[in-house]
Amino acid sequence: MITWRSITRTLQRHHAPIRTQVRHLNLLERTSHKLLQEFKLPVPTGFLVTTPEQAKHVVSVINAPSMIKAQVLAGGRGKGKFNSDGKSGVRLVESPSEAFKNATNMLGYYLTTAQTPKDGLHVDKLYIYQAVSIAQEFYLAMTFDRQHTSPVLLVSSSGGTNIESDVDKMHKLRFGLSTGITDEIDAYIQAELGFSDTEMKDIHRILVQMVKLFKEKDATLLELNPLVRTEEGEFVCLDAKFEFDNSARYRQKEIFALEERSAEEQEQEQLAELGLSYVRLDGDIGNIVNGAGLAMATNDLISLYGGKCANFLDVGGAATKEALRKAFEILKRDERVKGILINIYGGIVRCDMIAEAIVAAAAEMGGFKCPVVVRLQGTNSEKGLKLIEQSGLKNLIVEAEFEKATQMIVQETSGAEG
């Protein structure tokens, strides 16, 4: 049986990368720092801002060189680029005026990194803290070694962006949640990373608090990267990444209440509440279908005629005016979409009811701004197509045959401007 899980797997193998509807808890850096502070882990005192004026004021209060960091749910910000000035998502500023200038080029713009969609992520928050003089960067993490059914500690003397290229320097130490950080683990870390006795006391305290957080919050990953040693000999965590056991939502309500969601995830949730399923693709033709099998066939036929799908919206049996209006709104906001194909096979849901919902939703929105081809087949399809033809809506084309409807939308979008 074809399901939306199978369609996403198939499209992943044969077409452009897509975003599935698997949900993970995402925390912005500022929220992660608050959680670390709760467990007495060393982090800089930071401030969240949403305007250039606020950024200028914060840096004037800090009265020292400061770091400005874009708050997005993706890594690699330091090597990313803004579509405004081409600079990265992590910046050092020396003065309030410099903070204002940089914030102006960050807030309201899109940051692209190796972990974002190709168009980047919209930035509406910045995190600012006093710059730290870094002597060395380290990597500390806790996760689960499923092969040995044991939590494992990961340690490296190459932290920050170097961790990906220096995997060979990673030390893996299994430990027990009941025993925690033993003297043997401390001795191994000190010998391998060369910490002094004084430094090792600080590292031990950090590791003990990491275990406490990891255990009490049902974490599956706790990553401090980088944990830096400053020129003054202090250890400070500059960034962190968390993953939590999704099955522990009922037990960790406070943690999951902190969840940050991207605009796309918010749209997916809104669509799901209306009984719709959403799959994002990498083309420029928006699709509204009913059923995963029809979605696969639509994708293949559009590809055959030289087009590329931007997404699929499966209305299933939920083709109400409200559901279709929401679907149209999402496609309208997607700047990539040059045209829309509505491909519905009416079985239990009658085509005339779907047509009425399409016309009502479109009229409520003030019509369509791009070409829309409607293909209805099945129960009362002739009646439904006639209703749409008589609606008087502009940019609306009806076609009963699947292949012709597909050819039409490809033709309509092939010469459209992006």
Active site residues: 139, 223
Asked if residues 225 and 240 have their Cβ atoms less than 8 Å apart, the reply is yes
Determine whether 395 is exposed, middle or buried from the number of CB atoms within 10 Å of its CB (0-12, 13-18, 19+): middle
Q: How far apart are CA 122 and CA 144, in angstroms?
A: 33
Are 240 and 140 in contact by the 8 Å Cβ rule? The answer is no
**If 0-12 CB within 10 Å is exposed, 13-18 middle and 19+ buried, where does residue 266 land?**
exposed
Q: How far apart are CA 367 and CA 271, in angstroms?
A: 21
What three-state secondary structure class fits 89?
coil
C-alpha 52/C-alpha 100 separation (Å) is 5
Distance CA 31, CA 355 (A): 46
Residues belonging to the chain? 418
Q: Residue 79 carries which DSSP code?
A: G
